[in-house]
Chains A and B, each alone.
Chain A
Amino acid sequence: MSISSLWVVAEPSNGSFTTTSLELLTQARALSASVSVITWGDGASLAAQAGEYGASTLFDVGSLEGALPGAPVASAIAGLVATKGAPAAILIPTSYDGRDIAGRLSARLNRTVLTNVTGLVDDGALTTEHPVFGGTQIVRARFSGEGPGLIVVRAKSFAAEPSGGPAPVVESAPVGELGTTGSAVIVNSHVEEREGPKLEEAPVVVSGGRGLGEASQYALIEEAAKLLNGAAGASRAIVDAGWVPYSHQVGQTGKTVKPTVYIACGISGATQHMVGMKGSKNIVAINKDADAPIFQIADLGIVGDVHQVLPALIAALRARN
């Protein structure tokens, strides 16, 4: 482990760090003997969890008082770099707030951000891996200037595993003067309720695309997902068309899923979609077009009409329940 130290931005969410944060901590621990966590809000109460996943220090930014995290957290991290010295790299989850933090930190520290990272290895130097062209090729890159390198990592790139470490030392990470940069504030939060397991965590994901023909047909996807105790996903095409909310989107600009089985219905397999699901253990595809790219990665491909295959599948699943 030749990497001196790594910092991980860990996002608090409903009494835990997000799964992606824990995945980053697990990988950081494998690469460096010195891992610190930066968190805010309820994060300070999660010190025990940070320790379990290998952090020896927790830097607490404190309450953001409703501000979007980007500006204040980037300010606090820049302050830490100035007072504690730079780590080799700062790992940041690919999330709405993570991307904001990375962008602002890049300007504050005048350091490069590497985004869309799915692999991190130490082969003499810290090397990042980025899937391109729909995941058919991997670009391997390294930072060339002074640290800290800023690395934004996609969800599900690593498995999250606790190491059973002791509680970390907690230190405060004060936010500097923000001026107007900190004036974007959250005045209200809305949760779009969905039944069943979360899309990112479900063992079965049934997803629909353009091949469904119209928005009302998405009910077939939801029904099949429910019968399989899974979650319903969607291609970007039907999210853009307004059929389903963005929170259902699987792909490059949506969620990354790695279920036991992914069932793609009426999805042709645009590269932007495949990036988000090709890590699934098993893939089943139903599509009218025998040449659809999705069949190239499907373990089981059914060339047929979703409007016939899906209702038949739903009937078969109902008969078993």
Chain B
Amino acid sequence: MNIVVCVKQIPDPAAPQSFDASNNLDRSGKLILDEADTYGVEMALQLVDKAGGGEVTVVSMGSASDVAGIRNALAMGAAKAVIVSDEALRGSDALATLAELLQLPSITFAKSVEIDGTTLKVERQTESGYDEVTAPLPCVVSVTAGVVEPRYASFKGIMAAKSKPLQTLSVSELGLDGQVGAAGAGQAIVEVVAAEARQSGEKFVDEGDGADKIVAFLESIKVL
């Protein structure tokens, strides 16, 4: 069982974020592996383990100068990584249309994934609960955050990751000249404006009267 996991590196969400002069997200700071992607990596590692063979490859798009996040996926246990990196990709919209382009079935929002021979069995989240969905392999699956416990990279894993293959491809090597980046994005940002700020109201330190203050507030807005 071989599995490809699409991951991305993002600016640390805990750090302040801003746009650059051309309204692209400023990615000049430290990049980390998007936490949501670690669930996909973990799910893939578990499925490969269960199948008793095969490997996990991570694929990413973005700058190849800071790959700490990609190395983290390798340290978790992925065998190799491919990064599509090119200045021409700046302003490119993520092609989240993989399944259609590959002409494969897809199951999004998976909260559990099982493989039964050549059939994939997935519990897929719905507005009111979940559906059991099946599809033949190969299939494109997106995994919901929080459904598995992503492993921490072990010291051994971190050391091993340093020598795992990490291949960088440019847009020309993929044969996509002129189809990507802001020119191929099909949309343009007109402007970025400040949202109407919500004013904060009153703040009290609870001195045993916090609940009373809430009740009085609920009365004032006629909820009680």
Contact = CB atoms under 8 A, between A and B. Distances in A.
A185 B211 contact: no
Given A180-B136, A301-B202, A284 B223 contact: no
B125 A140 contact: no
A298 B109 contact: no
B165 interface: no
B195 interface: yes
Nearest to B207: A304
B144 A144 contact: no
A223 interface: no
Nearest to B202: A300
A156 to B, nearest CB: 14
Contacts of A73: none
Interface residues on A, range: 35 or more
A278 B9 CA distance: 28
Main SS at interface, chain A:
mixed
A315 B203 CA distance: 22
A83 interface: no
A112 interface: yes
B58 to A, nearest CB: 21
Interface in A245-261: 246-247, 253, 260-261
Contacts, number: 240
A84 to B, nearest CB: 21
A77 interface: no
Given A228-B223, A260-B221, A309-B210, A104 B132 contact: no
A187 interface: yes
A255 B212 CA distance: 29
Interface in B166-224: 185-195, 197-198, 200-206, 208, 210-215, 217-218, 221, 223-224
A282 interface: yes
B97 A312 contact: no
B189 A301 contact: no
A103 interface: yes
A138 B192 CA distance: 6
Given A103-B96, A106-B97, A138 B107 contact: no
A284 B213 CA distance: 10
A298 to B, nearest CB: 6
Decide if the interface of chain B is mainly helix, strand, loop or mixed: mixed
Contacts of A133: 17
B223 to A, nearest CB: 5
Contact of A313 (B186, B202, B214): B214
Contacts of B139: 184
Given A140-B190, A302-B214, A187 B97 contact: no
A200 to B, nearest CB: 9
B186 A111 contact: yes
Contacts of B145: 236, 240, 253
Contacts of A284: 214, 217
A142 B201 contact: no
Contact of B131 (A107, A190, A304): A190
A103 B135 contact: no
B91 to A, nearest CB: 11
B103 A180 contact: yes
A137 B211 contact: no
A292 to B, nearest CB: 10
B192 A104 contact: no
B103 A301 contact: no
B187 A143 contact: yes
Q: Which of B197, B206, B208 has the largest count of A CB atoms less than 10 A from its CB? A: B206
Interface stretch (A34-42, A94-102, A160-168): A94-102
Interface string A121-159: 000000100011101111111111100010000000000
Interface of A: 13, 18, 68, 70-71, 74, 95-96, 99-100, 103-104, 106-108, 111-114, 127, 131-133, 135-145, 149, 179-192, 203-204, 228, 236, 239-242, 246-247, 253, 260-261, 263, 271-272, 278, 281-284, 286, 290, 295-305, 308-310, 312-313, 315-317, 320
The 4 closest A-B pairs by CB, nearest first: A304-B206, A112-B186, A240-B146, A312-B211
